[in-house]
Chain A
């Protein structure tokens, strides 16, 4: 059964394919059938008990959490949600393991466009080695064999399962949102673009397509992702220059790029890393160049309602996303100003994309995600 979207992806066997299909339907079942029951359940069962005991409703997310983790109905949903992610990975790893040798050989054929520069001496930051982000076994950086690409392949073929096919054939709907934002709000014809934390380049390639005159670079610390990214870009006929670098300290010369961007990258770093990364963005941008990061909602703590706050951070606790909760509370405005971005250009706004206008997207999927935008002083 052919789930292959480009020639660097493996073809699953019959049983592997339907095993993966089950995970897609399992996740849809959790989202569509069980998740909507949680808020009514909380309102009718959990909150009244809390009021009886404390004479008031819970004040914050922590108070909600304390009662919810004691409740077996909620915990059952939460556990199912957690293992659906584990089942997603185990069901695609079978396919990757079986086909890996051939795929690694194939990377040699797919290497003419763009470039790939690896740095065997690079130190993988602790925020990526302490635990496996998103529960991907081995994390994004693990080398299981020579010239390994397995973690990159696993990531590429699990994304459609994770997103219920909403991300498109090239897994690029998120970057489409950033590009829509750039085209609608920033008057620029970028000559050089950098995507930080690019991993397999699924959010990097859309820049090649949207700005065909530009030179597009992608950096990441994880070699298995970059090797795969380069072969994948070739399979999709796109030229990108990939290099293995840490965004906290890059080898690019100052004043090089017109646009520096990232996609769901900042929340995978750390408190200490964020100011360094932002300083580096300011350094390598040309005067007047733009920084645009698509990421989680900032400054959300004081708002809405404790149950919503609690549920919104589900992935932080349950899907190995420790820093994404903390990122929301950082003073990004201050960090951007300190790094040399013009105060009046700093914006925390949102970017939108819709699946109907692009090929390869199933159904009508609309997406609105936060972007952090700032312009380097001219």
Chain B
């Protein structure tokens, strides 16, 4: 088998600092990626729930082939937004302060 192709994941450019220093920026970036992974887990669990409710059992391939209908997509989207709202509450509050 040919060697696996690895694609770059970091963009070249200026190193900008946004908050107190790079380590604070890094922590916020990691928090957001963890939030994303919580969202992935929640959606996966939800897919499994739907498959079990429908078929009574799980065939592993069914997970990748599962296509949420429009209503379910909207529901998931709402749930992601409420997750984001809870995680980002301190920042939202700071922008609200009078």
List the interface of chain A (C-beta within 8 A of B).
1-2, 13-15, 18-19, 21-23, 25-26, 28-29, 33-34, 37-38, 41, 44-45, 72-80, 82-83, 86-87, 89-91, 93, 96-97, 100-101, 131-132, 135-139, 142, 144-145, 150, 154, 317-318, 320
Q: Identify B97's interface contact among A45, A80, A138, CB under 8 A.
A: A45
Given A29-B81, A93-B9, A142-B8, A44-B98 contact (CB < 8 Å): yes
Choose among A34, A72, A86, A100 the residue that contacts B11 (Cβ–Cβ < 8 A): A86
Q: Once bound together, how far apart are the Cα atoms of A97 and B9, in whole Å?
A: 11
By DSSP majority rule, is chain B's interface helix, strand, loop, or mixed? helix
Give chain B residues whose Cβ lies under 8 Å from the Cβ of A135.
11, 13
Find the A residue at minimum CB distance from B12.
Answer: A132
Interface residues on B, range: 35 or more
The 10 lowest CB-CB distance pairs between A and B, nearest first, are A79-B18, A73-B94, A132-B11, A18-B43, A131-B13, A135-B11, A37-B95, A138-B8, A25-B80, A137-B8
Select A101's contact among B5, B10, B97, beta carbons within 8 Å. B5
Let me know if B36 and A72 touch, CB within 8 A. Answer: no
Is B91 interfacial (CB-CB < 8 Å)? Answer: yes
Q: Which of B37, B43, B96 has the most CB of A within 10 A?
A: B43
Q: A96-B7, A150-B7 are in contact. Are A22 and B2 (CB under 8 A)?
A: no
Given A22-B40, A22-B80, A34-B88: A76 touches B6 (CB 8 Å cut-off): no
Asked whether A87 and B18 contact (CB < 8 A) given A76-B94, A97-B6, A132-B12, the answer is no
Q: Known: A33-B85, A33-B92, A79-B18. Contact between A320 and B5, CB under 8 A?
A: no
